[in-house]
Amino acid sequence: MSSETTISSVGFCTYTGGGNFDTLEKSLCSIAELGANAAELSLYGEEIISGGRIIPGRAERLTAITNQFDLRYSVHGQIVSNFMDREHLEYQKAVVRAMLELCNRVEAGILVQHSGNAKMPAQSHIADLDRMERDTLAEMAEIAKGYGVRIALENIFAVTDAEYRQTPAQVGETVRAVGSPNVCGLIDFSHAYIESTRLGLDWREQISAMAPVTGHLHVHDSFGRPYSMTKFYHPAEATALGIGDLHLPIGWGDIPWEEIFEELTFLPDTMLIMEITGERFVNEQAECLARAFKLAEIANGRRLAA
């Protein structure tokens, strides 16, 4: 597809084997066989970086695997990566630098970066946290530029009022404030739904505010219910109650996917990644992929019509 296409590729995230590359290879093989044209490499679980440094032999093993498949790649950075973490900021930056180099090695055009979080500060200190994240993103964007990578800043949700998180609209404002072509937004629709419910915000307004600077999408279903309870003996119990960040197949929750993709316009060359892994939902992935391609057609058709 051309670079002017809104959604240029569709696929799934890989699941990890705790550093077992056989698991990664099997995951990519499954994604390719399903007919997807993209995969998000969950490299945070693959033991390729040690103390901010890439382990050469393991990086070579990674590229030997990714080169086998005709897939477009993105890379999911550390789950704990956090540019509001003042105490560990230099460590955090070192890992992101290494992740950007890994993006270059596997020819991935996107590095997923979670938006920051901190213990809820006094109101007067919130601006300091936001500034620290913006400044660090701008610094990392210069490194990303050298690799031709975009850092995609993902909206996350807070679990309690004691935690500071930016809303999706504020994540979009952060991207605009950085003002770099190598930083874009990443809308996780379920995260936005949960956080907006928690704060009493209109979640459709929140993602609409973020969409114009968004170049990467995480798609999985939920009911947008915050974590009013957190102890489950099996993931299926949370699914049954509809509570939390469930990562369900498309259609299992109540997100109106077709309506959303008819309304929102994203940046050109946006990748749509379903965080719906074959570990839990192998029998549902093919149906999800077919529906995701239809969502891409809706978004792309609207752009062509415009």
pLDDT digits (tens, 9 = 90+) for 140-160: 999 999 999 999 999 999 999
Q: Is the pLDDT of residue 302 over 80?
A: no
Which amino acid, 248?
L
For 199, the 3-state DSSP assignment is: helix
Q: How many CB atoms lie within 10 A of CB 165?
A: 23
The predicted pLDDT at position 3 comes to 45
**Residue 137 backbone zone (phi > 0: left; psi -120 to 50: alpha; other: beta):** alpha
Query: Per mean pLDDT, which range of 14-18, 230-234, 242-246 is the poorest?
Result: 14-18
The predicted pLDDT at position 278 comes to 73
Q: Is the pLDDT of residue 2 over 70?
A: no
Question: Domain spanning 7-305: which superfamily?
Answer: Divalent-metal-dependent TIM barrel enzymes (3.20.20.150)
Residue 28 and residue 256: Cα distance in Å, rounded?
29
For 8, the 3-state DSSP assignment is: strand
Average pLDDT for the chain: 95
Torsion of CA 197, 215, 272, 139, to 10 degrees: -90
Residue 150's beta-bridge partner residues? 110
Tokens of 234: 């099996």
pTM score, two decimals?
0.95
The predicted pLDDT at position 121 comes to 83
Contact 215, 266 (CB under 8 A): yes
Q: Which of 259, 267, 299, 99 is nearest to 186 (CA)?
A: 267
Taking CA atoms, 62 is separated from 56, 70, 212, 227, 244, in Å, by 10, 15, 34, 36, 33
Tokens of 123: 């109101």
In the chain, pLDDT over 90 holds for what percent of residues?
90
Residue 10 and residue 286: Cα distance in Å, rounded?
12
Q: Is the pLDDT of residue 9 over 50?
A: yes
Residue 186's beta-bridge partner residues? 154, 216
Residue 297 and residue 261: Cα distance in Å, rounded?
9
